[in-house]
């Protein structure tokens, strides 16, 4: 367990799946002031209610990370409510399919907007306010193993997450003298409600697809949100010390390995 009693957090994409798991982990470890943001009002209200039941003062801010003004407004809303923001998690993402052969300009722009531009400007505003207030802060960007390459059907998604990986490192380099740390997590194939919807929408999956997929994995499971939440909590906490600019692969498949 990490000590988040002094943490004031914003989790973009915190209304379901991994983002909500991270928000719950932070609250269980002492964070009692937290903002979750997402596009859907009902899910956002439910997430805020869940966090409040755990003892936090929780605020839901409606936001589409594809709109830069929304991404900035999340940080401002949190700072206005709580006085400051010390932790940011960029977990919002879009994962529509498309290859180099059929991806449209609109598809590409949507991925880059939600997965790279939105997080960039949320991080920028987060850093600006922390620098102005003179307090340390820590951010984690949720990336993906696709930053190493990605499946053929994930061309725009892979491009956008690769961009965010570079944003992570570049921001870490820029902000370190302000005592602001920025790290990232390359998540592997994960068991979330969003992934279930994607499998059914794009790949014709039916009930039982998860069990079949997990049976093929080395550890007999897909990545679980609760596992990643523990790493993110560590990265955001003082326990991780001066760690910054790190992008950690969180998967059971090793990038660069080949079948023997």
pLDDT tens digits, one per residue of 8-67: 999 999 999 999 999 999 999 999 999 999 999 999 999 999 999 999 999 999 999 999
| 118-134 pLDDT, tens digit each | 999 999 999 999 999 99
Per-residue confidence (pLDDT) for residue 202, from 0 to 100 = 87
Residue 214 lies in a domain: no
Residue 207 lies in a domain: no
Token duo for residue 210: 């998860």
Helix (H) or strand (E) holding 36: strand 33-38
Per-residue confidence (pLDDT) for residue 101, from 0 to 100 = 98
CATH code for the domain in which residue 158 is found: 3.40.50.720
Residue 49 lies in a domain: yes
Per-residue confidence (pLDDT) for residue 146, from 0 to 100 = 97
| Count: domains in the chain | 1
Work out the number of other CB atoms within 10 angstroms of the CB of residue 199: 15
Single out the catalytic residue among 121, 126, 157, 250.
Answer: 157
Residue 237 exposure: Cα atoms within 13 Å on the Cβ side: 20
| 215-237 pLDDT, tens digit each | 999 999 999 999 999 999 999 99
Per-residue confidence (pLDDT) for residue 64, from 0 to 100 = 97
Clarify whether 157 is annotated catalytic. Answer: yes
The residue range of the domain holding 20 is 8-188+223-247
Residue 238 lies in a domain: yes
Contacts 24+ apart (CB under 8 A), 103-108: 103/155, 103/156, 107/156, 108/156, 108/159
| 147-178 pLDDT, tens digit each | 999 999 999 999 999 999 999 999 999 999 99
Q: Is the pTM here over 0.85, yes or no? A: yes
Residue 43 lies in a domain: yes
Residue 259: pLDDT band with limits 50, 70, 90: confident
């Amino acid at each position: 367990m990490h000590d988040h009693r002094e943490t004031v957090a914003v989790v973009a994409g915190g209304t379901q799946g991994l983002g909500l798991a991270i928000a719950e982990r932070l609250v269980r470890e002492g964070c009692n002031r937290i903002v979750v943001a997402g596009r859907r009002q009902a899910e956002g209200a439910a997430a805020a209610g869940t966090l409040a039941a755990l003892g936090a003062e929780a605020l839901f801010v409606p936001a589409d990370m594809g709109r830069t003004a929304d991404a900035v407004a999340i940080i401002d809303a949190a700072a206005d409510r709580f006085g400051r923001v010390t932790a940011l998690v960029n977990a919002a993402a879009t994962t529509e399919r498309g290859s180099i052969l059929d991806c449209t300009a609109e598809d590409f722009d949507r991925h880059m907007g939600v997965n790279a531009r939105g997080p960039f400007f949320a991080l920028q505003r987060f850093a600006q306010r922390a620098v102005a207030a003179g307090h340390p802060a820590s951010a984690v960007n949720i990336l993906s193993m696709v930053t190493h390459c990605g499946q053929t059907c994930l061309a725009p998604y892979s491009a956008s997450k690769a961009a965010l990986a570079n944003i992570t490192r570049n921001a870490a380099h820029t902000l370190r003298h302000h005592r602001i740390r920025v790290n990232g997590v390359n998540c592997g194939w994960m068991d979330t409600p969003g992934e279930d919807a994607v499998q059914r929408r794009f790949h014709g999956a039916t009930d039982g697809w998860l069990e079949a997929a997990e049976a093929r994995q080395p550890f007999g499971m897909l990545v679980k949100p609760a596992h990643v939440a523990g790493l993110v909590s560590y990265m955001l906490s003082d326990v991780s010390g001066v760690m910054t600019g790190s992008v950690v692969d969180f998967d059971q498949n090793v990038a660069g390995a080949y079948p023997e």
